[in-house]
Amino acid sequence: MKFIKYLLLLTILNCTAQKTTDGTVEIRLNQLGYAVGKTKVISVNSNTVISNLKYNIKDKKGTVIKSGVIKNSQFWKDANEHVGIISFSEINKEGEYVIAINDKEKNFRVSSSIYEKATKDVFKYYYYNRSSTEITKEFGGKWARPAAILDTKVKVHASAATKERPEGTIISATKGWYDAGDYNKYVVNSGISTYTLLSAYENYSNYYKSKKFNIPESNNNLPDILDEVIWNLDWMLAMQDPNDGGVYHKLTGLNFSGVIVPKEYNFDRYVIKKSTGAALNFAAVTAIAARIFREFKVEKPNYSTKLIEASKKAYAWAKKNPKEYYLNPKGVKTGQYEDPNILGEFQWAATELFITTKESAYKKEIAIESISNEVPWWQDTSALALYSIVNFEKELAKELNVSLAKKKLLKKAAELKKNIEQSPMRIAMRTPDYLWGSNGVAGNQLMYLVKAYEVSKDASFLDATFTGMDYLLGRNGLGVSFITGVGENTSKNPHHRISQADKIKQAIPGMVVGGPQPGQQDKCKYPSKMPAKSYSDTWCSYASNEVTINWNAPMVYVMNALHYYQTK
């Protein structure tokens, strides 16, 4: 009798444990799908503890090919959720599959080229954000628009005035990319973005030489990625004062415009104040560009020479003006991109100049022991110097302490990999990472892991990148793909003036939105205050749903790298 009562009690407890998850279970997965031969996980998220939860994975015919039980869950404090993990890395046959839990099902796919289309989407964003040109139907489809904001008549602002270029002087600074959801252009943020695309080409040049992105220049003799970079480099070159080598911090109106398409923009445009940060970003980017364009002397005559001369002048100006930190002058209300600590930028610029020129003056400026190995972003580009040093290990082995640079890089990459392995969600993101532009943090974390793989050839870094990529594509605290148009449930209402004002229901595809962060500075309506869930897919939410060129850049690097390694 006691045994029967025990069985009855056990049954009740088991049913209760199963019941606590009914109606609260959410299946979170990579909405693009999973790569053949790589680690594959699905997360099951709930607001209660998960215990003994059954699941089935079925193929397209409905045949169960894997079944199991999530015995227990881990608590994920950033989302206030309990998470169970389903690993199915052994499923490597290409095809469509279904994960079924209770009465919920979700489709997913396994493929040997899972990121092929997405590589083009995240890159094409740059074409759609070009300034000073028409976006044609041939290349822009339904997002075509007339040429506008030409920037052929830009005023020198009082803060940027010199004897040679007094206030009100008219200059031309055409081309470039709109920085974000607005119509302004900033050298500092442009710097890390352009570098990232150049670094992608430098590390995967053969891949990019045959990679077409359907842009107007696709039929010329240059790789498409370099054509797109040139569009921004030409603008950056125009942002340098030819009289002293200094670089204007930004080209903007005095304020942000309303929700209008480019052809409706009628603000006066200004180049505003020179800054040390802008000069160093400019110097670093033009230095790496100069060494890349040496290969294209026929296609771009004298371009490499022009770039390195501009780089040297900008660096020399920065050395003479080491503390020209940028703050908005009175009456200027557009983005600041302020940076009160530019030691990392000095190291980055000196490193790129030394690699390109081999001149000892730049070598003397490099102090690897002082270079931070933190995940880079626009306000701290230190680790970009490490990337380039280890990338040129053979050439620099007798010149610099490359082993220390490599040790620093791999140490940080190992931390990121460990975060993924130990996280309840199997992601690299931690509580401090959910700041403004958290998806940019996530993208740069993944790029860091790819860089570690390039240096070490340790396959665990690459596998961690495949796993970590799930976060941006739906396996996160909201079940949302943070790249517009990429995935089943994607961000649809980005804070992007073109997409909001063009009267086209679908946002321009391939844009990485800012992502969850608990600051909620825009005072919009959010579903939660938890760091990993504090995201609002609305135009209102510039604090979580704006787009920028620097958040897309690591996605271009990482997605194309993953596609390359999976298909080579």
Structural domain includes residue 510? no
- In this structure, the answer to whether residues 107 and 168 fall within a common structural domain is no
| Residue pLDDT, tens place only, 150-173 | 999 999 999 999 999 999 999 999
Contact 349, 355 (CB under 8 A): no
Backbone angle region of 314, left / alpha / beta, with phi > 0 → left and psi within -120 to 50 → alpha: alpha
- In this structure, the answer to whether residues 107 and 120 fall within a common structural domain is no
Last-in-domain residue among 111, 146, 178: 111
Domain that holds residue 24: 2-111
- In this structure, the answer to whether residues 152 and 295 fall within a common structural domain is yes
- In this structure, the answer to whether residues 267 and 380 fall within a common structural domain is yes
Structural domain includes residue 31? yes
Structural domain includes residue 505? no
Catalytic residue among 495, 496, 502, 563: 495
| Residue pLDDT, tens place only, 240-261 | 999 999 999 999 999 999 999 9
Structural domain includes residue 290? yes
Structural domain includes residue 410? yes
Backbone angles phi, psi at 62, to 5 degrees: 95, 5
First to last CA, the chain: 66
Exposed / middle / buried, residue 11 (Cβ in 10 Å: 0-12, 13-18, 19+): exposed
| 496 classed as catalytic | no
| 182 classed as catalytic | yes
- In this structure, the answer to whether residues 107 and 125 fall within a common structural domain is no
pLDDT score for 24: 86
Interacting residues of 278 by C-beta distance below 8 A, sequence separation 6+ = 187, 188, 191, 239, 247, 248, 249, 250, 326
Alpha helices (runs of H) in 171-272, residue ranges in sequence order = 187-203, 205-209, 224-238
Catalytic residue among 81, 121, 179, 182: 182
Q: List b or e across 217-228, with b for residues whose CB sees 16 or more CB atoms inside 10 angstroms.
A: beeeebbbbbbb
Exposed / middle / buried, residue 184 (Cβ in 10 Å: 0-12, 13-18, 19+): buried
Catalytic residue among 121, 454, 537, 563: 537
| Rounded Cα–Cα distance for residues 102 and 280 (Å) | 56
Give me the CATH number covering residue 6: 2.60.40.10
Last-in-domain residue among 94, 111, 128: 111
- In this structure, the answer to whether residues 187 and 106 fall within a common structural domain is no
Last-in-domain residue among 111, 126, 155: 111
- In this structure, the answer to whether residues 254 and 374 fall within a common structural domain is yes
- In this structure, the answer to whether residues 270 and 358 fall within a common structural domain is yes
pTM, whole model, 2 decimals?
A: 0.95
Structural domain includes residue 520? no
- In this structure, the answer to whether residues 293 and 429 fall within a common structural domain is yes
Instruction: Name residues of the chain where pLDDT drops below 50.
Output: 1-23
- In this structure, the answer to whether residues 123 and 87 fall within a common structural domain is no
- In this structure, the answer to whether residues 218 and 251 fall within a common structural domain is yes
Structural domain includes residue 536? no
| 563 classed as catalytic | no
| 546 classed as catalytic | yes
- In this structure, the answer to whether residues 270 and 178 fall within a common structural domain is yes
Structural domain includes residue 517? no
| Residue pLDDT, tens place only, 456-491 | 999 999 999 999 999 999 999 999 999 999 999 999
Based on the structure, what is the number of domains in the chain? 2
Give me the CATH number covering residue 442: 1.50.10.10
